[in-house]
A and B are shown apart, each in its own frame.
Chain A
Amino acid sequence: MSDIFEILLTAGFWAATIRIVSPLIFGTLGELICERAGVLNLGIEGIMTVGAMSGWMWVYQGGGLWGGVLFAACLGALFGLLHAGFTVHLGLSQHVTGIGITLFASALSYFVSRMLLPSATTPPKIEPFQELPIPVLSDLPIIGEALFSQSPLTYLAILAVPVTWYVLYRTPLGLAVRMAGENPVAVEAQGINVLAVRTGAVAVGSALMAIGGAFITMSWFDAFYFGMINGRGWICVALVIFASWRPGKALVGALLFAGLEALQVRAQQSAGAFIPYQFFLALPYVMSILAMVVMARKAKYPHALLVPFRRGERV
């Protein structure tokens, strides 16, 4: 036990936690926005892959880092529009469409990366986002290094939480989005186009997911390789349930999750001799399932989640 406390006191642990949490925040917020509007987006795993590939590729082809993030976000939004076209406008199964999007988007990412890098045996690296220490605050012991000496994308992720909260709970648009996930007929009756609201929410949510993917290649591993999202998208879907569809709780859940993962990486180093490493690698997935089980009874899911809306029906 004392080992664990020692780990908890190191700046490295906290820095790692914050790094691991960043893509989870983007992905969880993205999924949360989609689901708040009533659309389950299981394309998340594939959309994160697209983001990871496209952001990285943009920079590798000579583009700027922020341009890469924007490019990733745009492609993510595009896949979001595809998902919305199927599920919102045609009213097709959200489950199957999402899985289809994931299969298609991941395969396309690998195809494109193989096309552009035909002969690379080891994945090439890019010059990633540099840490951006915040003056004064970054000099604080431990938390200075952990919290205030991070990639600008990390700050963006953390900033996205209150912004999402504000938009959802304090603006007319956010009200329309939440209402679209609770009772789309009510939205239509008030003269707002439900399909547009849902489509917009899915596009924005998908853009955030793609930025989450881009973080992994542009601010963490510096390279794109096969299978690198590795279920992070599915974990985000679980985190949304764990967070009861609330942005603040999503941040808490993601932090808890990232902290445990950072801890296991370090525990793996000290305990690897007698506990197989696969055990530690499996922890995030098992924890995600447990997180859903814990919250299942209390989950107040959006009433119209998974329910397609067609104009003039039941009005």
Chain B
Amino acid sequence: MPALEFRGVTKRFGSLTANDAVSLVIEPGEVLALLGENGAGKTTLMNILFGHYQADQGEILVDGKPLAPGSTQAAINAGVGMVHQHFTLAANLTVLENIMLGTEGLWSWRQNTKAARDKIAAMARDYGLQVDPDALVGDISVGERQRVEILKALYRDARILILDEPTAVLTPQEADSLFATLKSLTEKGLAVIFISHKLHEILAVSDRVAVLRRGAMVGSVVTKDADKAQLAEMMVGRTVTRPKPEPMQAGKAILEISRLTTSGDSAAALADVSLTVHAHEIIGIAGVSGNGQQALADVLCGLASGFSGTVQLHGAPLPAGRPRAIVNAGVGRIPEDRHARGVVGDMEIWENLISEDLRSDAVSRWGIVDRGRATARAEKQIAEFDVRCEGPDAETKLLSGGNMQKLILARALSREPSFILANQPVRGLDEGAIAYVQERLLEARARGAGILLISEDLDELMALSDRIAVLSHGRLSEALPSEARSIAEIGLMMAGQDGGEKAA
């Protein structure tokens, strides 16, 4: 009997069909990879399984028994456990409290912490998932947090474990250790669903691959018979062609960072970072998020001014802490979080397109916004960057993720900046938008811009970067040509085991 079965699950949001008659079977002891682009409907499907949404049609069976729709509790009780991409943990509470939440009757007058500790200790032994139950979740590493998430599921006797993009926050070595854990879980008879869009991981870890495209199940293949190209084509529906950089001779130095050190939270603060970005060059910054990427981006974007060391643009000091002056000095900025930093969703598209030079003569005079000129410019940018919208007056929050990112590109790149900070520029985008963003970055490189690309996706970094440096615990390694490094080597450096050498 299959451990879990989806039968013709359909979910619509207005005119969008997120899941179109999806059927899928998972056997006990098997790792099933669920592959699909961003927006293919993987997360929606899992949300339906977990009761966060209700399917419009179809049903879900666990161990042959239908699962009550719309109830998280029912899914948990049936033995389904989920490790979400964004951890569902409270940083201010202890590991023990996070694991115990919801495991006892809410109206019980006391908690049985003794029994809980014993059970956690036993599980830690059996599966090699060591954690300190009394540590605050906010104080432990990302890898440990993921362990807590898995323990949470196992603590509730999960027999079907779902992991949503579990390696996004891990170093390659941590990912390997996670794969080992999954192996030992399936040996004990658990069924594992592994959601990802990274092909090499899927090939490494799964027994079978099911592919979702635009909400529909394209098919499923046995992993050992599959190869990357085939899976990629199944996922995207056509041959995937991501842009490839032309070989190019690096030009003069554009951005020079020397001994940059920021204050604050130890792991996330920069310690003595030095780096030079040249014209015609993309430098990739690899690393697990939370190791100083934010601090580096904040300094270069003008959001932080409290640092020591020097940052020079074309030989002149970067105007620290002044975003507009930095933009005027020729920096194009693509922020990590489109919604929180990139755009004001409640304002119109033309308004978001002028936000960086609001007080310049181009769009305002004597403190009055020149709407005519701003709209005319916006129309040009919308056309040039292929932002699909009803026009410059449309509300920005109605744009799709890809179009929102194009809007941000339009704002940042249409001034032809000589230095570009691209922080996770393709996160959450579909293949078409990813290719578009990467092409635009490569165009800028060809034009002579220097680009700093911060990403958690090593494949992306390897494909685009001329040189790669690794950020770990706030320290930046020397930037070496990307072909000179292996993924394993970079992984070790991400874990901080080999970050010794630094650029002079």
Quote the shortest CB–CB distance from B389 to chain A (angstroms): 24
Q: What is the count of residue pairs linking A and B with beta-carbon distances less than 8 angstroms?
A: 94
Whether B72 contacts A172 by the Cβ 8 Å rule is no
Mask, B44-64, CB within 8 Å of A = 1, is 000100101100000000000
Quote the shortest CB–CB distance from A70 to chain B (angstroms): 21
Decide yes or no: A190 and B47 within 8 Å by CB, A171-B110, A172-B108 being known contacts: no
Residues of A within 8 A of B76 (CB): 190-191
Interface residue B93 (Cβ < 8 Å from any Cβ of A): yes
Residues of A within 8 A of B92 (CB): 182, 300, 302-303
Interface residue A170 (Cβ < 8 Å from any Cβ of B): yes
Whether B100 contacts A172 by the Cβ 8 Å rule is yes
Interface residue B382 (Cβ < 8 Å from any Cβ of A): no
Whether B89 contacts A186 by the Cβ 8 Å rule is yes
Interface residue A33 (Cβ < 8 Å from any Cβ of B): no
Interface residue B484 (Cβ < 8 Å from any Cβ of A): no
Decide yes or no: A187 and B47 within 8 Å by CB, A171-B108, A179-B93, A312-B52 being known contacts: no
Whether B82 contacts A176 by the Cβ 8 Å rule is no
Quote the shortest CB–CB distance from B440 to chain A (angstroms): 28
Decide yes or no: A192 and B106 within 8 Å by CB, A175-B111, A182-B92 being known contacts: yes
Whether A175 contacts B101 by the Cβ 8 Å rule is yes
Whether A312 contacts B89 by the Cβ 8 Å rule is no
Mask, A163-206, CB within 8 Å of B = 1, is 00000001111011011001101111111100000000000000
Within residues 138 to 174 of chain A, which ones have a CB less than 8 A from any CB in chain B?
Answer: 170-173
Interface residue B98 (Cβ < 8 Å from any Cβ of A): yes
Interface residue A314 (Cβ < 8 Å from any Cβ of B): yes
Residues of A within 8 A of B111 (CB): 170-172, 175
Whether A178 contacts B93 by the Cβ 8 Å rule is yes
Mask, B66-90, CB within 8 Å of A = 1, is 0000011101110000101010111
Residues of B within 8 A of A95 (CB): none
Residues of B within 8 A of A125 (CB): none
Whether B101 contacts A186 by the Cβ 8 Å rule is yes
Whether A186 contacts B108 by the Cβ 8 Å rule is no
Q: How far is the CA of A68 from the CA of B426 in the complex (A)?
A: 62
Quote the shortest CB–CB distance from A163 to chain B (angstroms): 11
Interface residue A315 (Cβ < 8 Å from any Cβ of B): yes
Residues of B within 8 A of A182 (CB): 90-93
Residues of A within 8 A of B71 (CB): 191
Interface size on A, residues (CB 8 A): 25
Quote the shortest CB–CB distance from B98 to chain A (angstroms): 7
Within residues 338 to 394 of chain B, which ones have a CB less than 8 A from any CB in chain A?
Answer: none
Whether B47 contacts A191 by the Cβ 8 Å rule is no
Whether A312 contacts B88 by the Cβ 8 Å rule is no
Interface residue B97 (Cβ < 8 Å from any Cβ of A): yes
Whether A189 contacts B72 by the Cβ 8 Å rule is yes
- Closest residue of chain A to B70 (Cβ to Cβ) is A311
Residues of A within 8 A of B89 (CB): 183, 186
- Closest residue of chain A to B76 (Cβ to Cβ) is A191
Quote the shortest CB–CB distance from A180 to chain B (angstroms): 9
Which residue of A176, A302, A315 contacts B102 across the interface (Cβ within 8 Å)? A176
Decide yes or no: A188 and B106 within 8 Å by CB, A171-B111, A315-B47 being known contacts: no
Residues of B within 8 A of A172 (CB): 100-108, 111
Whether A179 contacts B91 by the Cβ 8 Å rule is no
- Closest residue of chain B to A185 (Cβ to Cβ) is B88
Residues of B within 8 A of A183 (CB): 88-91
Residues of A within 8 A of B103 (CB): 172, 190
Within residues 296 to 315 of chain A, which ones have a CB less than 8 A from any CB in chain B?
Answer: 300, 302-303, 311-312, 314-315
Q: How far is the CA of A269 from the CA of B313 in the complex (A)?
A: 69
Q: How far is the CA of A186 from the CA of B102 in the complex (A)?
A: 10
Most buried by B among A178, A182, A302, A314: A182
Residues of A within 8 A of B104 (CB): 172
Residues of B within 8 A of A173 (CB): 106-108
Whether A312 contacts B53 by the Cβ 8 Å rule is yes
What are 18 of the A-B contact pairs (CB < 8 Å)?
A170-B110, A175-B97, A176-B106, A178-B90, A179-B90, A179-B97, A187-B101, A188-B72, A190-B72, A190-B76, A190-B88, A191-B71, A191-B76, A192-B73, A303-B90, A303-B92, A312-B53, A315-B43
13 further contact pairs, Cβ within 8 A, besides A312-B52, A315-B50: A170-B110, A172-B100, A175-B101, A182-B92, A183-B91, A186-B88, A190-B76, A190-B101, A190-B102, A191-B72, A191-B73, A192-B102, A303-B90
Q: Which 8 A-B pairs have the closest CB atoms?
A: A190-B102, A182-B90, A191-B73, A312-B52, A186-B88, A189-B88, A172-B104, A183-B90
